[in-house]
Amino acid sequence: MRRNRLKNINTVFLLGAGASYAISLPIKGKASEFTTPLDITFNRRLLNMSPRARKAWIGSSIDKIKSNWIGAQKFEELGLEEAIIKRLGNYELLKAIHPIKLTGNSKTKSKCDNFQYLNHLSHLIVELLSRCKQNTRNYAERFAKHALGSNDKREENRIITFNYDVLIDDVLLDKLKIPKNRLYFDRLKDGQDASDNRKTKDKFAHPYLLKLHGSINWRISSQDFENIVNGNIASDDKIPIWIERDKIPDPEDDVSPLILPPLPNKPITETSIFRYLWQWAFEYLHEAKKLVIVGYSCPVTDSFATSMLSQMYNMNLEEVVIVDKDSSALDKYRALMSGRIPKRTVWTFYGDFVDYIENH
């Protein structure tokens, strides 16, 4: 990885859920069904989602998420990432020490395994986020043009995101006409049946947008998704991944969305595509002259991200911009990067992503 490092990188934008929330929040400031949820409200939004025409699976998947939950608190009382980690951990514990709770008897209902649970949950996440839209001020479009709106900016800037939604992606693909293989990664296929062979002209070493937890428009086979979730995949396996922008598969199909919240068994380090994306994220952070962090709070549920930020070493970094509702985020990142960046680095704070976009 080091020999292919992207030199002369200028700005790296690191986006969390607060970024998508801000660019989809109506101008009057009240969240709607078109606003991407924050982590803490995600589960309630999922369970309250109404089925729509030709998608009868939505109701049955919501029922499965409710009935197969394992935990003292209700699913909807937790944030999405915390709920996933608790469910997966509780299932593994019960499977090891009290399997009757899972296999079922006259007094207890059987519980689906972690792959089945995550598979239904991931389909619901795709359905929910596919309904979200940028607000009428077109902040997603304005940010996309600010970050990667010209060839010069694409030479110098990169976006790293922990978000699954495609509010910014759609602008980059449709408005700015960035090829998907350069935007995401060069092994992304056009469809499930497309060839796995990659032409020399399609190779691109430095993706513009790194989606570290996957994307609602990426697809893999359900068998590959199960292997990733269960940790049964060789680290050098090249998993076929394709883009699908229109159709959301049924959970009973043989196709699954490729979205991966922070999982206890950390498939990020075992799965070649995620290891590739995280390696490049680390390289971009290492080389950037300016770092803009928007709406990402480094939650304890994502220790891998915290490790990446705390272990970056960048003596070229001239400015760090923190965009967050909570001003304490500034002190948090100062402490996290202490000793890893120059003391002369300038720190700038914005309390709102809208303010940042309006000023740039």
DSSP annotation string for 337-353: HTTTS-TT-EEEEES-H
Question: Mean per-residue pLDDT for 266-278?
Answer: 81
Q: How far is CA 273 from CA 79, 116, 154, 233, 260, in A?
A: 26, 22, 22, 12, 12
Question: Mean per-residue pLDDT for 271-278?
Answer: 90
pLDDT of residue 306: 86
Asked whether residue 113 falls in the same domain as residue 140, the answer is no
Nearest to 94 by CA among 106, 73, 111: 111
Asked whether residue 23 falls in the same domain as residue 66, the answer is no
Instruction: Return all residues near 70 (Cβ < 8 A) that are at least 6 apart.
Output: 86, 87, 90, 91, 94, 111
- Residue 325 CA to residue 354 CA, distance in Å, equals 11
325 lies in some domain: yes
243 lies in some domain: no
- Residue 172 CA to residue 260 CA, distance in Å, equals 22
Both structure tokens of 169:
């992606």
Asked whether residue 147 falls in the same domain as residue 207, the answer is yes
pLDDT in tens, 155-207: 999 999 999 999 999 999 999 999 999 999 999 999 999 988 878 888 898 99
232 lies in some domain: no
Both structure tokens of 340:
């890893």
Q: Which helix (H) or strand (E) holds 210?
A: strand 209-211
Q: Give the total number of structural domains in the chain.
A: 2
23 lies in some domain: yes
Instruction: Return all residues near 53 (Cβ < 8 A) that are at least 6 apart.
Output: none
Phi, psi of 180 (to 5 degrees): -60, -30
Which domain, by its residues, includes 67?
Answer: 39-130
**Is-contact 258 220, C-beta < 8 A?**
yes
Last residue of a domain, one of 130, 159, 179: 130
Both structure tokens of 197:
């062979």
Instruction: Return all residues near 281 (Cβ < 8 A) that are at least 6 apart.
Output: 160, 210, 212, 308
pLDDT of residue 100: 58
> Strand 319-323 vs strand 290-294: parallel, antiparallel, or unpaired?
parallel
Both structure tokens of 265:
């068994």
DSSP-derived secondary structure letter, 6: -
Q: Is the pLDDT of residue 270 over 90?
A: no
Mean pLDDT of the chain: 90
Asked whether residue 119 falls in the same domain as residue 6, the answer is no
Asked whether residue 186 falls in the same domain as residue 274, the answer is yes
Q: Which residues of 56-79 are buried (b: 16+ CB within 10 A; e: fewer)?
A: ebbeebbebbeebbbeeeebbebb
Best mean pLDDT range from 5-9, 55-59, 125-129: 125-129
55 lies in some domain: yes
pLDDT of residue 232: 85
Residue corresponding to tokens 């700038």: 348
Question: Mean per-residue pLDDT for 267-273?
Answer: 78
Question: Mean per-residue pLDDT for 151-155?
Answer: 95
Q: How far is CA 21 from CA 36, 50, 137, 190, 265, in A?
A: 5, 20, 14, 29, 28
Res. 254 pLDDT band, cuts 50 70 90: very high
pLDDT of residue 188: 94
pLDDT in tens, 70-123: 989 999 999 998 999 899 888 888 888 876 566 655 444 688 999 999 999 999
pLDDT of residue 108: 47
64 lies in some domain: yes
Q: Is the pLDDT of residue 23 over 50?
A: yes
pLDDT of residue 297: 83
Other C-beta atoms lying within 10 Å of the C-beta of residue 178: 19
